[in-house]
A and B are shown apart, each in its own frame.
Chain A
Amino acid sequence: MSVATLDLSRIAPAFADPVRESQAVFREVMECMARPGRVTRFDRAPMAPNGLGKAAGAVALTLFDFETLVWLDPALADSEAEAWLRFHCGCPLTTKAQDAAFAIVTDMAKAPNLAAFNQGDAKYPDRSTTVILQIASLEGGPVVTLSGPGIQTTTDIAPQGLPQDFWTQIETNQAQFQFGVDVLLVASDQLLALPRTTTAQIKGG
């Protein structure tokens, strides 16, 4: 991990009004975590560098700080996105997926298996990693039907650009409750949540 001095002139701005904006972002993330599959939009969030989407950036600015160890996709190592996160969030970074409180995955082709992240402790399942997966789009992909707490009957989503075996990983993740990671799927300025309680069924699958 580089500890070189940050070139402040090259760091893009974050929230203009951190108090109000992080509150608004959090409420949306909270509603999404409570209602898996619900899609929200952060169109007014600041642009994050290096193709890190507005949604991933907004979640980072809202939830990361010196207390959260963050696993950042190796594709973003030593990038302006890394400097942006270090400067605005003050979060320590780790390369050990097992230690991370949060993870940002941007390169889906090389994405680690969800099982590589911290799965939580039997007595403290809340210590598991929250994985932010940035994909191409939350629409237009194969239709997947979700059910579980937070969903009245079922709800359909159609994210695009997930690895082949992603839904198998989600199934394994859900089956080992109370252990498991919680996933935030983000694409550009959109976000939906897949907490460990959610069951996913590929339509026609």
Chain B
Amino acid sequence: MSTPVPARANAPERYYNYAYLDEQTKRMIRRSILKALAIPGYQVPFGSREMPVPYGWGTGGIQLTAAIIGPDDVYKCIDQGADDTTNAVSIRRFFANVADVATTEDTGEATIIQTRHRIPEKPLKAGQVLIYQVPQPEPLRGLEAREIETRAMHAYEEYGLQYVSLYENISAYGRIAATAGYPVMVEERYLMSPSPIPKFDNPKMAQNEAVMLFGAGREKRIYAVPPFTRVRSLDFEDYPFETQTWEETCALCGAEDSYLDEVILDDAGDKMFVCSDSHHCAERRAAGHVGPMAGHTLDQDAALKEPAQ
């Protein structure tokens, strides 16, 4: 018995269009992308479609990718910085399947990077597009539940409420306690949610060389930050914006300047800190950088070379 050869994408037996979405939907999304780029930070409403994954799994990002991707693209997808998590692997396979694209884990060689909750550590360059999956595009939603109100607040640049909220944070905790989804001001005009990236990544948005697109599927919004655009994290003169810092270094690669995840190792409370950006960490280890716990079983490459005793 021979194994059936899987049908090529676009072959008649696939019953769906190249890159999954139909052409009319792509045109509608493409028009929204152009307006989003022309009005940096402004949320463009769009006719979000039902996708073959549930809301919250990146339907906004997937629709953006589907609208722009072509067969010459090299596609990378990360979830919390990692290329090897379920969500990232599924979405990457989806586009390899429906859009005939090459996929990669290498930040440098990707032309489209779809991300959930991180900006890669390696600086992006012209020609790359970073697509953010966004659960809640409205930075003011936690303060004002009505869309009709928040839309007016953006229209008339009424952002006092946001500053009051940050001030209340300081009076309650002595500092601005928000750590992810920290609101930013784009070109000193539109208040924007950076999506739930850690505030560690906020400074990377400013003057970035890549095109940054944001898609919220359930909330039906697209917004964008063009390259070389001013993006400022909100703060006060006496409480300036600060990013997270760690006393530890990455246990596997020794990086001192990357965003670290804390990993609990056992019931005794042992833990390690590792780079959240899995490709960044792997690349550093391949280049010979060694962290204090190098060779740990969590270091898959090392584990493969020297099986645990």
> Are B24 and A195 neighbours in the complex by a CB distance under 8 Å?
no
CB of B29 to closest CB in A, whole Å:
10
> Are B226 and A150 neighbours in the complex by a CB distance under 8 Å?
yes
> Are A62 and B27 neighbours in the complex by a CB distance under 8 Å?
yes
Once the chains are docked, how many angstroms separate the CA of A20 from the CA of B31? 17
Q: Considering the complex, which residues of chain B in the window 1-36 have a beta carbon less than 8 Å from any beta carbon of chain A? A: 17-19, 23-24, 26-28, 30-36
Contact status of A149 and B229, CB under 8 A, knowing A34-B211, A182-B35: yes
Q: How many residues of B contact A (CB 8 A)?
A: 44
> Are A20 and B28 neighbours in the complex by a CB distance under 8 Å?
no
Contact status of A23 and B38, CB under 8 A, knowing A18-B23, A63-B27: no
> Are A27 and B226 neighbours in the complex by a CB distance under 8 Å?
no
Once the chains are docked, how many angstroms separate the CA of A115 from the CA of B26? 29
- Among B17, B151, B228, the residue within 8 A (CB) of A123 is B151
CB of A119 to closest CB in B, whole Å:
12
Q: Which residue of chain A is the closest to B34 with respect to CB atoms?
A: A33
> Are B28 and A67 neighbours in the complex by a CB distance under 8 Å?
yes
CB of A67 to closest CB in B, whole Å:
7
CB of A144 to closest CB in B, whole Å:
18
CB of A156 to closest CB in B, whole Å:
16
Does A29 sit at the interface, judged by CB under 8 A? yes
Once the chains are docked, how many angstroms separate the CA of A177 from the CA of B38? 10
Does B42 sit at the interface, judged by CB under 8 A? yes
Once the chains are docked, how many angstroms separate the CA of A130 from the CA of B38? 10
Does B44 sit at the interface, judged by CB under 8 A? yes
Does B227 sit at the interface, judged by CB under 8 A? yes
Does A19 sit at the interface, judged by CB under 8 A? yes
Once the chains are docked, how many angstroms separate the CA of A24 from the CA of B31? 15
Does A68 sit at the interface, judged by CB under 8 A? yes
> Are B38 and A19 neighbours in the complex by a CB distance under 8 Å?
no
Contact status of A126 and B37, CB under 8 A, knowing A30-B68, A34-B226, A150-B229: no
Tell me if B's interface is mostly helix, strand, loop or mixed.
mixed
> Are B211 and A31 neighbours in the complex by a CB distance under 8 Å?
yes
> Are A30 and B228 neighbours in the complex by a CB distance under 8 Å?
no
Once the chains are docked, how many angstroms separate the CA of A67 from the CA of B226? 26
Does A80 sit at the interface, judged by CB under 8 A? no
Does A196 sit at the interface, judged by CB under 8 A? yes
> Are B27 and A149 neighbours in the complex by a CB distance under 8 Å?
no
CB of B227 to closest CB in A, whole Å:
6
Contact status of A20 and B33, CB under 8 A, knowing A30-B211, A35-B227, A123-B155: no
Once the chains are docked, how many angstroms separate the CA of A31 from the CA of B42? 18
> Are A30 and B33 neighbours in the complex by a CB distance under 8 Å?
yes
Does A22 sit at the interface, judged by CB under 8 A? yes
Does B304 sit at the interface, judged by CB under 8 A? no
Once the chains are docked, how many angstroms separate the CA of A122 from the CA of B154? 9
Does A175 sit at the interface, judged by CB under 8 A? no
- Among B68, B189, B226, the residue within 8 A (CB) of A178 is B189
> Are A34 and B18 neighbours in the complex by a CB distance under 8 Å?
no
Does B69 sit at the interface, judged by CB under 8 A? yes
Contact status of A149 and B187, CB under 8 A, knowing A23-B70, A125-B42, A126-B44: yes
Q: When each residue 147-170 of chain A gets 1 if its CB lies under 8 Å from chain B and 0 otherwise, what string results?
A: 001111000000000000000000
> Are B30 and A130 neighbours in the complex by a CB distance under 8 Å?
no
Contact status of A34 and B227, CB under 8 A, knowing A122-B156, A178-B42, A195-B38: yes
**Which residues on A sit within 8 Å (CB–CB) of B18?**
19-20, 23
> Are A197 and B40 neighbours in the complex by a CB distance under 8 Å?
yes
**Which residues on B sit within 8 Å (CB–CB) of A33?**
34, 37-38, 226
Residues of chain A touching chain B, judged by Cβ–Cβ distance below 8 Å, are 18-20, 22-24, 26-27, 29-31, 33-35, 62-65, 67-68, 101, 122-126, 128, 130, 149-152, 177-178, 182, 195-197
- Shortest beta-carbon contacts, A-B, top 6: A195-B38, A126-B35, A150-B226, A122-B155, A149-B229, A34-B226
Residues of chain B touching chain A, judged by Cβ–Cβ distance below 8 Å, are 17-19, 23-24, 26-28, 30-40, 42, 44-45, 67-71, 126, 151-152, 154-156, 187, 189-190, 207, 211, 224, 226-230
